[in-house]
A and B are shown apart, each in its own frame.
Chain A
Amino acid sequence: MLAYALRRLLLAMPLLLGITFVSFAVIHLAPGDPVELQTGDMSMQQSAQAYQELRKLYGLDQPLHVQYWNWLTRIVRLDFGRSFAPDGRPVLNKIAERLPITLMLNLVEMIIILVLAVPIGILSATRQYSLFDKVTTVFVFVGFATPDFWLALLLMILFGVQLDWLPVSGLRSLNWEYLSFWGRQWDFLSHLALPILVATFGGLAGFSRYMRQSMLEAIRQDYIQSARAKGLAERVVIGKHALRNAMLPIVTVLGLSLPGLIGGSVIVESIFAIPGMGQLMVQSVFQRDYPVIMGNLVIVSVLTLLANLAADLSYGLVDPRIRLAGRRGRR
């Protein structure tokens, strides 16, 4: 298995190179460049000189392959460069500022979804076509179909404006510095309640349907019948034997959704005024802030490749058939 992992890691290098190259080319294909948007956005105060100066500062006057080469040689030294935005801050700083809140939101959302989706999936499968199954199916699909922003605004009006139970937007109250430690945690929680609610409601459908489907397949297997014939309690049959096998696809999907943890939903973030990765990325694209866009792409690509590898390896760990098949094959 170790050899397998090493081989995969080695293969990931050229893959990463290819990803960055294609991404670099594609972004530069988009019309408009960051300098135009900063100096000459149809404002009456532009000047041709400022335009040229900025282009030189950003290295945009070089041919494309030279720009890519410069960027590449810096990235391997882990120098992500500086943003093209007027604040000129290092790209890593800008990303590091926004990553924690996005990660936290996504992690909490994922945990809640799992905690809810797995039981829903199991119960829907064991009680297929029952009232519970039908109600939850409708419920999760309504959640899936509802537009985030619409739901978000409705909840904000209800809880924020009319009932005044929760804050409307933002991450912290104005008096945050003056609150006690527990006061601050509570404040933070009340600010994140609505965004998490909106995100979870939409995301529940995916996992719960996966769980249900995979559970249904597991239940139909012969070994379940033999487990029941052996006289085991239904609880053990479902909870131990069926569940373990049904979880396999879930583990894979979980692994593949790890890279998504660092991406934010720009719509939810904009509506709730949460300064997260989603907003950063969309703004960078609109402003053609190439260093930030590329920096984000590199991070996401690396994470995706690693997560894929982890998912494959964990599949081997969790499923004895794969583990043993590899060993048997070598003899």
Chain B
Amino acid sequence: MPTPVFRLGAVVALAALAAAGCSSEAGLPGEPKSGTIAPAYGDTLIEASIGNVSSLIPNITSDASSREVGDFMYNGLVTLGRDLEILPELATSWTFSKDCLTLDFQLHQGVKWHDGAPFTADDVVFTWEATMHPKTPSAYKADFDAVERVEALGPHAVRVTYKRPHARALLSWAMTMLPRHLLDPYVKAGKIREAPQNWSAPVGTGPYRFKEMKSGEKIVVVANQDYFKGRPHISRIVYRIIPSQATIFLELKARGVDVASLTALQYKRQTEYPAFEKAYQKFRYPSSGYTYFGFNLKDPRFADRRVRLAFAHAINKQELLDGVVMGLGREATGPFRPGHWANNSAVKGIPYDPPRAATLLAEAGWRTRNADGLLVKDGKPFTFELMTNQGNDERRKIAEIIQASLRELGVGVEIRILEWAAFLKEHIKKRPVRYDAVILGWATAADPDQYVIWHSSQVGPDELNHISYINPEADALLEAGRTTCHQADRVTFYHRLHQVLADDQPVVFLYWRDALPAIASRIHGIEPGPAGIRWNFQGWFVPKHLHRYTAG
């Protein structure tokens, strides 16, 4: 029987008093909270999201909000741990065959779907069938491309057979598992989107079960008492949809939400007062996205490596970081996240060195300047158009800083900002591409395979190697990295790839933005690491005396 949930006013006062009295136990942000405080059950966590949730079946969506909500209600066979290592979830163990072509999973026994039906190996087979069904609109088919078949060897054992060795094999099974007994008819009819699972009654095996959804407003999930890993401590999660970053920040200050991502400005300047620091913990770690200054490598000016290196030397990365994200980021030396096992920490960034830049450009044939101060070669001044997408303040600032830096060098830059869909369709996806240079970013995944971005076979229209990078050594490393299942080998290949890309500078790697979440200080159990903070949200709890919302 749920006890009435109290309106904020009275409880704020009580909680503030309680928190004030317990400040010695609160600890410092980022420290693992264990030992001194006993985990308690109860309370509600209120999250906020800018994007609307488009579907409750994560396998057929690609937006981040839907996936976050999906994480509450579903499980995969494996999941990611704090240091981006692969941990068992619905599977208890797995083994690869020597040739990397067969992967066997042992599954947990006694796991139940939210409607009480048992989870078995057949559901795993179904999930694969559903994702690969020609009428299922899933963006994840490519992930299972190398799978030849999936068979259940028993109610709790699954064998996946691969056509060729596929390094991402294991991680691809972090995909959310779907129930055959509810979705089979819809998938076979090609109407998976019309299933109640998609909108009104999602059924998963996850730590939280669906309670209600008000479209565009909120989604409420409640703790799954029968969760196979033990009931999560926080009883309820309310996922609010608030499409404005400014409003989310105000709600945070008014204590209407408990978790929010801060912008650099908010983190550094607007949250440094005592009341906020008492009520919230702030975290800072490299996010999975990096921004780059890319070139159309089919343009003969940019095909010359010296020109690209010159540009890299001409940009002061630290100044860029300070100016654009107030220093809350790290310089990028390559395409792998700092802290990730594929990142080669021995690779150095390109230092800020304008004289060296000028020398390199001179070597490439850009020696004389014209009356406007621009470098000239074969009678043509060095000017180009730098494009980026509308609505992204960071990229606009970066473009301006690059424009200023290159002007000093004698290179003229014209900035052009376009609406995203038009930019994508008309300039990036077409071949030949219709841009000189761009400011864009990549969101990297937990698996470091970036074949689709850098391999020379991926230069076709609509494919992701839009800069047209062709390097046989990189090709070999990319192929090797994705076709072995031995971790030690992969480390070698990707470390070498990192060095190759850093030396070659097909793009100027700029920076990795920091993720800057703020979480109510009553939430304990948070352990930040390379995977961020959400990897163990099932273990978060609120000590009894700090409970703010009671909901049975």
Q: CB within 8 Å of B: which residues of A?
A: 30-33, 36-51, 53-54, 57, 82, 85-89, 94, 97-98, 153, 156-157, 160-161, 164, 167-175, 178, 269-273, 275, 279-280, 283, 286, 288
Which of B216, B238, B425, B450 is the most central at the interface, judged by chain A CB atoms within 10 Å of its CB? Answer: B216
What's the Cα separation between A85 and B57 when bound, in Å?
13
Interface string of B426-447 (1 = CB under 8 A from A): 1011000000000010110100
Cβ of B243 < 8 Å from any Cβ of A? yes
Cβ of B452 < 8 Å from any Cβ of A? yes
Residues of A within 8 Å of B198, CB to CB, are 86-88
Residues of A within 8 Å of B66, CB to CB, are 86
**In the bound complex, do residue A46 and residue B250 qualify as a contact, i.e. CB atoms below 8 Å apart?**
no
Q: Do A31 and B422 contact each other (CB < 8 Å), given the known contacts A86-B193, A160-B250, A175-B6?
A: yes
Which residue of A is nearest B53, CB measured?
Answer: A87
Q: From B62, B244, B450, give the contact of A270 (CB < 8 A).
A: B244
What's the Cα separation between A37 and B145 when bound, in Å?
21
Which residue of B is nearest A47, CB measured?
Answer: B142
Q: From B139, B215, B240, B242, give the contact of A97 (CB < 8 A).
A: B215
Which of B44, B256, B443, B549 is the most central at the interface, judged by chain A CB atoms within 10 Å of its CB? Answer: B256
A186 shortest CB reach to chain B, Å: 11
Which of A36, A86, A173 is the most central at the interface, judged by chain B CB atoms within 10 Å of its CB? Answer: A86
Residues of B within 8 Å of A168, CB to CB, are 247, 250-251, 254, 256
**In the bound complex, do residue A174 and residue B44 qualify as a contact, i.e. CB atoms below 8 Å apart?**
yes
Interface string of B233-253 (1 = CB under 8 A from A): 000001011111011001101
What's the Cα separation between A30 and B254 when bound, in Å?
41
What's the Cα separation between A14 and B313 when bound, in Å?
64
Enumerate the 7 nearest inter-chain pairs by beta-carbon distance, A residue then B residue, closest first.
A275-B216, A88-B193, A32-B421, A86-B55, A175-B5, A47-B142, A273-B242
**In the bound complex, do residue B194 and residue A88 qualify as a contact, i.e. CB atoms below 8 Å apart?**
yes
Which residue of B is nearest A276, CB measured?
Answer: B216
What's the Cα separation between A283 and B216 when bound, in Å?
11
What's the Cα separation between A283 and B52 when bound, in Å?
10
Interface string of B391-421 (1 = CB under 8 A from A): 0000000000000000000000000000001
Cβ of B424 < 8 Å from any Cβ of A? yes
**In the bound complex, do residue B464 and residue A42 qualify as a contact, i.e. CB atoms below 8 Å apart?**
yes
Which of B62, B198, B240 is the most central at the interface, judged by chain A CB atoms within 10 Å of its CB? Answer: B62
What's the Cα separation between A37 and B419 when bound, in Å?
13
Of the candidate stretches B98-106, B130-138, B494-502, the one touching chain A is B130-138
**In the bound complex, do residue A50 and residue B54 qualify as a contact, i.e. CB atoms below 8 Å apart?**
no
What's the Cα separation between A144 and B139 when bound, in Å?
46
Residues of B within 8 Å of A98, CB to CB, are 215-216
Listed by A's residue number, 8 A-B pairs whose Cβ atoms lie within 8 Å are A40-B429, A47-B142, A53-B134, A82-B193, A175-B4, A178-B5, A270-B244, A273-B247
**In the bound complex, do residue A47 and residue B139 qualify as a contact, i.e. CB atoms below 8 Å apart?**
yes
Cβ of B46 < 8 Å from any Cβ of A? yes
Given contacts A32-B425, A44-B453, 6 further A-B contacts (CB under 8 A): A32-B422, A47-B141, A98-B216, A171-B217, A273-B217, A288-B421
**In the bound complex, do residue B9 and residue A153 qualify as a contact, i.e. CB atoms below 8 Å apart?**
no
Which residue of B is nearest A53, CB measured?
Answer: B134
B31 shortest CB reach to chain A, Å: 29
**In the bound complex, do residue B256 and residue A86 qualify as a contact, i.e. CB atoms below 8 Å apart?**
no
Interface string of B1-39 (1 = CB under 8 A from A): 010111111000000000000000000000000000000
What's the Cα separation between A70 and B35 when bound, in Å?
66
Residues 40-60 of B contacting A (Cβ, < 8 Å)? 44, 46, 52, 54-55, 60
Cβ of B184 < 8 Å from any Cβ of A? no
**In the bound complex, do residue A31 and residue B421 qualify as a contact, i.e. CB atoms below 8 Å apart?**
yes
Cβ of B304 < 8 Å from any Cβ of A? no
**In the bound complex, do residue B139 and residue A38 qualify as a contact, i.e. CB atoms below 8 Å apart?**
yes
A183 shortest CB reach to chain B, Å: 9
Residues of B within 8 Å of A49, CB to CB, are 134, 141
Q: Do A157 and B250 contact each other (CB < 8 Å), given the known contacts A53-B134, A174-B238?
A: yes
Q: From A169, A175, A273, give the contact of B7 (CB < 8 A).
A: A175
**In the bound complex, do residue A271 and residue B215 qualify as a contact, i.e. CB atoms below 8 Å apart?**
no
Residues of B within 8 Å of A271, CB to CB, are 244, 246-247
**In the bound complex, do residue A174 and residue B46 qualify as a contact, i.e. CB atoms below 8 Å apart?**
yes
Which residue of A is nearest B191, CB measured?
Answer: A88
Q: Do A38 and B7 contact each other (CB < 8 Å), given the known contacts A45-B143, A160-B254?
A: no
Which residue of A is nearest B131, CB measured?
Answer: A50
Q: From A41, A44, A45, give the contact of B450 (CB < 8 A).
A: A44
Cβ of B61 < 8 Å from any Cβ of A? yes
Residues of B within 8 Å of A280, CB to CB, are 216
Cβ of B199 < 8 Å from any Cβ of A? yes
Residues of A within 8 Å of B242, CB to CB, are 169-170, 273
**In the bound complex, do residue A44 and residue B464 qualify as a contact, i.e. CB atoms below 8 Å apart?**
yes
What's the Cα separation between A283 and B443 when bound, in Å?
23
Residues of A within 8 Å of B443, CB to CB, are 43-44
Q: Do A273 and B52 contact each other (CB < 8 Å), given the known contacts A47-B145, A167-B256, A169-B256?
A: no
Residues of A within 8 Å of B421, CB to CB, are 30-32, 36-37, 286, 288
A270 shortest CB reach to chain B, Å: 4
Cβ of B493 < 8 Å from any Cβ of A? no
**In the bound complex, do residue A45 and residue B142 qualify as a contact, i.e. CB atoms below 8 Å apart?**
yes
Q: From A48, A97, A273, A275, give the contact of B462 (CB < 8 A).
A: A48
Q: Do A40 and B462 contact each other (CB < 8 Å), given the known contacts A32-B421, A86-B61, A272-B247?
A: yes
What's the Cα separation between A141 and B195 when bound, in Å?
52
Q: Do A45 and B464 contact each other (CB < 8 Å), given the known contacts A153-B246, A174-B238?
A: no
What's the Cα separation between A87 and B193 when bound, in Å?
6
Q: From B4, B62, B246, B253, give the contact of A45 (CB < 8 A).
A: B62
Cβ of B267 < 8 Å from any Cβ of A? no
What's the Cα separation between A87 and B2 when bound, in Å?
31
Which residue of B is nearest A288, CB measured?
Answer: B421
Residues 109-156 of B contacting A (Cβ, < 8 Å)? 134-143, 145
**In the bound complex, do residue B250 and residue A275 qualify as a contact, i.e. CB atoms below 8 Å apart?**
no
Which residue of A is nearest B46, CB measured?
Answer: A174
**In the bound complex, do residue B240 and residue A170 qualify as a contact, i.e. CB atoms below 8 Å apart?**
yes
B24 shortest CB reach to chain A, Å: 28
Which of B66, B138, B428 is the most central at the interface, judged by chain A CB atoms within 10 Å of its CB? Answer: B138
Residues of B within 8 Å of A45, CB to CB, are 62, 139-140, 142-143, 445
A323 shortest CB reach to chain B, Å: 46
**In the bound complex, do residue A39 and residue B247 qualify as a contact, i.e. CB atoms below 8 Å apart?**
no
What's the Cα separation between A88 and B52 when bound, in Å?
14
Residues of B within 8 Å of A156, CB to CB, are 247, 250
Residues of B within 8 Å of A97, CB to CB, are 215-216
**In the bound complex, do residue B549 and residue A174 qualify as a contact, i.e. CB atoms below 8 Å apart?**
yes
What's the Cα separation between A288 and B453 when bound, in Å?
26
**In the bound complex, do residue B425 and residue A31 qualify as a contact, i.e. CB atoms below 8 Å apart?**
yes
Which residue of A is nearest B549, CB measured?
Answer: A174
**In the bound complex, do residue A173 and residue B7 qualify as a contact, i.e. CB atoms below 8 Å apart?**
yes
Residues of A within 8 Å of B214, CB to CB, are 275
